[in-house]
């Protein structure tokens, strides 16, 4: 009798863990054989591959398919290989795919994930409408003096670093971007450029470090979403640190704008405008028109926006700018062309890295975009279907709440779309049109494209210009020409072991 009970339990567990695994087979979509509970995602659950690496693996494994089936735990998902279908998801039929799908429970969202990147539905729409004002060209110009100051401090730090035989360019640029965010986001002079042990720098690192405990919580939420809905993806120490940091700054300002024109000031200005009001993307009136929705911009919501501004601002910018330096170290002829442009432009601006100066560095911009093509920090895009949807190109129907993944790094490095994709060639971008199309979308596409893309671009280019104006970058004895991706990444990608380079002071530096 006992044996029968055990057998029944084992059968139940097996059926429960695999009862969805015929989903793609029934629809005729190719996929790898899934394993109970883990699906086809075991490598990510075990931190042997990032989410992007898993999608990239499926992309290359099925080269003749336009879409490929995938199972994250028990849940079926769809990997999109065709840029035209990706455009349909991101732009044409956006109203069916307005959710990113990172948050499993729409009504039980942990506080820090209620930000403009992770939020879905009406919360996202209200935040996007209100916060698009923060990243206008006028606002970026107004805060650019902060970037200029940090770029000059970066040059001073690089002077010290140039004495070393090797230094991690990723860490160098992370200290620059973290210092900028401290000033631009919080009005704080945290000086991470001179203090690599700064608490602010430690907090920045912690956001993107996935400990075994973090990985376990994440896997449990994905494998057992209902049982683990109260578990948080983010550690409690991050929530406490961000709450303390933001409320400390707000108290110092008596919860009023300070005139510093930083991110917290801008949010306080938005809060003074009253509740966020707009048309619902989720709910309709009886006549079919969108319902009018309203939401207070609470301090908890403000803290969530600060969190994503902090995390995304330093992580993606430092990764992309350091990778640009890495590529230039291995391509000295391109480095010379970039330096010649930087020298030529800066002499017109008294060697000051201003907004207008950076805006004139067209070849540097093409070089930066080519680096993004080869290694986009956000290497995949994800969306979730709001209702049952049929792809007309495929005659394929997917269910409501189905996640679709677009592996943009794989697309960017596919010779179908980019000639000699493994060659670093900024001249492949002959115009802005080449840099901005539905195939090359390093900042996303459609209504959910990165709202802070322009600020991130200008900040990164300023940092690169600051280094190359005074220094040459070369491979060091520790450099690896094709560095490996850190397999623990979740949303953004990073390099295992960093990007060690040698900085050498230019003889003709101004």
What residues have CB less than 8 Å from 445, skipping those under 6 apart?
A: 86, 87, 90, 91, 438
Burial of 27 (0-12, 13-18, 19+ CB in 10 A): middle
Sheet holding 403-406, edge to edge: 67-72, 75-80, 403-406, 381-384
> Hey, which bits of 208-275 come out as E strands?
none
Q: Which long-range contacts (CB under 8 A, 24 or more apart) does 10-13 make?
A: none
d(CA 407, CA 13): 32
State how far the alpha carbon of 340 is from the alpha carbons of 255, 352, 472, 503, in Å.
Answer: 47, 16, 12, 17
Is 8 annotated to bind a ligand? Reply is: no
Over the range 468-497, which residues count as b (16 or more CB within 10 Å of their CB) and which as e? bbbbbbebbeebeeebebbbbbbbbbbbee
* Beta bridge pairs of residue 68: 79
Contact (CB, 8 A) for 200 and 314:
no
Sheet holding 471-475, edge to edge: 167-168, 500-505, 471-475
Nearest CA-CA partner of 380 in 45, 43, 79: 79
> Hey, which bits of 43-98 come out as E strands?
67-72, 75-80
> Hey, which bits of 223-338 come out as E strands?
276-284, 290-295
Contact (CB, 8 A) for 78 and 404:
yes
Q: Residues forming the annotated binding site for heme?
A: 450
Q: Residues forming the annotated binding site?
A: 450
């Amino acid at each position: 009798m006992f044996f029968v009970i055990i057998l029944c339990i084992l059968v139940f567990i097996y059926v429960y863990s695999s009862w969805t695994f015929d989903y793609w087979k029934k629809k005729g979509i190719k996929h790898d054989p899934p394993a109970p509970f883990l699906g086809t995602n075991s490598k990510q659950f075990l931190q042997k591959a990032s989410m992007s690496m898993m999608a990239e693996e499926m992309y290359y494994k099925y080269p003749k398919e336009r879409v490929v089936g995938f199972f994250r735990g028990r849940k079926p998902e769809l990997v999109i290989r065709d840029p035209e279908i990706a455009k349909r998801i991101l732009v044409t039929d956006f109203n069916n795919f307005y959710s990113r799908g990172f948050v499993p429970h729409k009504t039980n969202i942990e506080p820090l994930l209620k930000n403009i990147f992770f939020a879905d539905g009406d919360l996202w729409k209200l935040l996007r409408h209100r916060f698009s004002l923060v990243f206008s060209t006028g606002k970026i110009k107004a805060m650019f003096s902060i970037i200029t100051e940090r770029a000059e401090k970066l040059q001073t730090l690089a002077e010290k670093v140039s004495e070393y035989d090797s230094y991690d360019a990723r860490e160098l640029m992370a200290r620059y971007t973290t210092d900028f965010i401290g000033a631009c986001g919080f009005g704080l002079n945290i000086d991470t450029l001179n203090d690599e042990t700064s608490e602010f720098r430690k907090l920045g690192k912690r956001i993107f470090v996935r400990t075994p405990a973090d990985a376990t919580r994440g896997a449990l939420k994905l494998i057992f979403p209902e049982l683990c809905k109260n578990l948080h993806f983010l550690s409690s120490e991050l929530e406490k640190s961000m709450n303390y940091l933001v409320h400390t700054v707000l108290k110092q300002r008596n919860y009023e704008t300070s005139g510093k024109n930083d991110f917290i000031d801008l949010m306080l200005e938005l809060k003074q405008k009253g509740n966020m009001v707009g048309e619902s993307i989720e709910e309709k009136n009886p006549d079919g028109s969108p319902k009018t929705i309203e939401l207070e911009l609470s301090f908890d919501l403000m803290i969530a926006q600060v969190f994503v501004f902090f995390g995304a601002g330093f992580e993606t910018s430092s990764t992309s700018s350091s990778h640009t330096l890495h590529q230039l170290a291995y391509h000295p002829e391109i480095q010379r062309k970039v330096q010649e442009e930087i020298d030529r432009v800066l002499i017109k601006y008294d060697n000051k890295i201003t907004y207008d100066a950076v805006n004139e560095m067209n070849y540097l911009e093409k070089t930066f975009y080519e680096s993004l093509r080869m290694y986009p920090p956000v290497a995949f895009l994800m969306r979730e279907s709001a209702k049952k949807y049929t792809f007309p190109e495929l005659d394929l129907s997917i269910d409501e709440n189905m996640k679709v993944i677009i592996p943009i790094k794989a697309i960017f490095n596919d010779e179908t779309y980019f000639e000699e994709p493994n060659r670093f060639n900024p001249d492949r971008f002959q115009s802005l049109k080449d840099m901005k199309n539905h195939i090359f979308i390093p900042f996303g596409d459609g209504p959910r494209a990165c709202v802070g893309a322009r600020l991130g671009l200008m900040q990164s280019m300023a940092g690169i210009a600051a280094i190359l104006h005074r220094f040459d970058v070369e491979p060091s004895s520790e450099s690896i020409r094709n560095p490996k991706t850190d397999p623990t990444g979740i949303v953004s990608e990073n390099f295992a072991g960093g990007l060690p380079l040698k900085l050498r002071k230019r003889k003709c530096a101004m």
